[in-house]
A = this chain, B = another copy of it.
Amino acid sequence: MEFLHDSPEDRSLQVMGQGVAAGEEVSNKQIIFREFAEGIPKESDMAVKSAQLKLKVPEGRPMAVLVRNLYLSCDPFMRLRMGPQMECCFPPFERGLPLVGFGVVQIVDSTHLDFEEGELLWGLTTWEEFSLLAEPFTDAYSLFKIKDLDLPLSYHIGLLGMPGLSAYIGFYEICSPKKGEYVFVSAAAGAIGHLVGQFAKLMGCYVVGSAGSKEKVDLLKNKLGFDDAFNHNDEVDFDAALKRRFPEGIDIYFDNVGGDMLDAVLLNMRLHGRIAMSGMVSQYNLEQHQGLRNLFCAVTRRVRMEGFMIADYFDRYPEFYEEMRRYLKEGKIVYVEDVVHGIEGAPAALIGLLTGQNVGKRVVAVAPDLIDVKRV
């Protein structure tokens, strides 16, 4: 973990120490997707390559931007694109091309009417130092302009981006929380989980998190205000582990992991409980997903289980953004980032995320001349 901010006031960002100029010829390092992963992805499933690139949108490409990638985001869902096509799932990455993920980018050259050189954006980009992005932008996710520069740029792929909006919509909308309810969050030290737990505390809930190491459990209990937390690797019986922490049962489960933990939670739901199904990272490295045997509990306990994706909620982004800024300014939430430096480290950073090595939001800082004065 690179740093942990207890309050946002002590930080500011000075963007772009040295720039690059449109038209310049550069060497462009890329993270190429080579092979479908089996089980936990290996570094050899990806390759770091360099290619010469002229920083100019090619002739005859209207509505396109050539961007410099400043930060790339490591997200669990990317694993789903590293295997062969599965039913209900995202299309695989194309072998031989760079991986695709969220990033913070700066425009170097543009033929797009909405974007100008120098502008900072966040959205889906490709895993390389410089990307050519053209309409229609990938996967129906737009590129969003970053307007306020008083918060770190990288926050836009974390707290102020997909994970933040997932936590916000997932908790406040999908979970329909009420003060005093019992809330359980899995992958609670992850990008989404550590925010959900804090939102739940702000709402006056009792919050327990599960995570995969003592370090993470300590963070949850001592820095993030969780009422309790446990290391799932220390527990052989998730049902018993939950019953000890929730003798009254669970009203809300924010599920980031699926599998056996979800199955155990089902045994512990209270009447009219809600389960927000945000992701199932425990299953992504498996050839076949674990079977859930306790779904009948959702009938007798009248539980609502709901899958959601933020693509459906971008209309809520402005409201969410203002709320997050306010939370940060008022010191109401702590945002944890886990920064890896240099694009060469991106494959290992992503694999580490998929094996639970990250604490908080894992990002790759790509541009070496990017200076965040309070971070250096």
B258 touches A277 (CB 8 A): no
A296 x B289 contact (CB < 8 A): yes
Contact partner of A296 (CB less than 8 A), chosen from B88, B291, B302, B306, is B88
Contacts of A291 in B (CB 8 A): 290-293
A227 vs B68: C-alpha distance in the bound complex, in angstroms?
55
Chain A positions 280-325 with a Cβ under 8 Å from a chain B Cβ: 280, 283, 288-309, 312
Is the CB–CB distance between A297 and B267 below 8 Å?
no
Please tell me which one of the listed residues B89, B267, B277, B302 contacts residue A298 in the complex, with CB atoms under 8 A apart. B277
A321-351 interface code vs B (CB 8 A; 1 in, 0 out): 0000000000000000000000000000000
Of the candidates B278, B283, B299, the one whose C-beta lies within 8 Å of that of A280 is: B299
Contact present for B288 and A293 (CB under 8 Å)? yes
Contact digits for A237-279, partner B, Cβ 8 Å, 1 yes 0 no = 0000000000000000000001000100011010010000111
Q: Contacts A258-B296, A292-B295, A296-B258 known; A307 to B302 CB distance under 8 Å? A: yes
Question: In the bound complex, what is the Cα–Cα distance between A68 and B297 (angstroms)?
Answer: 35
CA distance A316 to B297 in the complex (A): 24
Select the residue from A90, A272, A280, A307 with max chain B CB neighbours within 10 A.
Answer: A307
Q: Which residues of B contact A87 (CB under 8 A)?
A: 267, 294, 297
Q: Are A294 and B302 touching (Cβ within 8 A)? A: no
Contacts A288-B293, A291-B293; is A305 near B306 (CB within 8 Å)?
Answer: yes
The interface size bin for chain A is 35 or more
A279, B305: Cβ atoms under 8 Å? no
Contacts of A89 in B (CB 8 A): 296, 300
Name, among A88, A279, A280, A290, the residue most crowded by chain B CB atoms within 10 Å (CB to CB).
A88
A297 surroundings in chain B (CB, below 8 A):
87-88, 307
Asked if A88 and B283 make an inter-chain contact with CB atoms under 8 angstroms apart, the answer reads no
User: Given the complex of chains A and B, what is the CA–CA distance between A31 and B299 in angstroms?
Assistant: 28
Bound-complex Cα distance A262 to B296 (A): 11
| Most interface-central of A290, A296, A297 (chain B CB within 10 A) | A296
Q: Which residue of B lies closest to A278 (CB)?
A: B299
Q: Return A27 CB to nearest CB of chain B, in Å.
A: 37
In contact, A301 and B88 (Cβ under 8 angstroms): yes
A309 adjacent to B302 (CB under 8 Å): yes
Closest B residue to A274 using CB positions: B306
Asked if A279 contacts B299 (CB within 8 A), the reply is yes
Interface centre among A258, A267, A295, A298, by most B CB within 10 Å? A295
Q: Chain A, 35-70, contact with B by CB distance < 8 Å: what is the 0/1 string?
A: 000000000000000000000000000000000000
Name the B residues within 8 Å of A289 (CB-CB).
Answer: 293-296
Q: List 10 A-B contacts (CB under 8 A).
A: A87-B267, A89-B300, A277-B295, A278-B299, A279-B299, A291-B293, A300-B307, A302-B312, A305-B305, A305-B306
Nearest 3 A-B pairs (CB), nearest first?
A: A291-B291, A88-B297, A299-B307
**Given A291-B291, A298-B306, 8 other A-B contacts at CB below 8 A?**
A87-B294, A88-B300, A89-B300, A289-B294, A292-B295, A302-B306, A302-B312, A304-B306
Could you tell me which A residues sit within 8 Å of B by CB distance?
87-90, 258, 262, 266-267, 269, 272, 277-280, 283, 288-309, 312
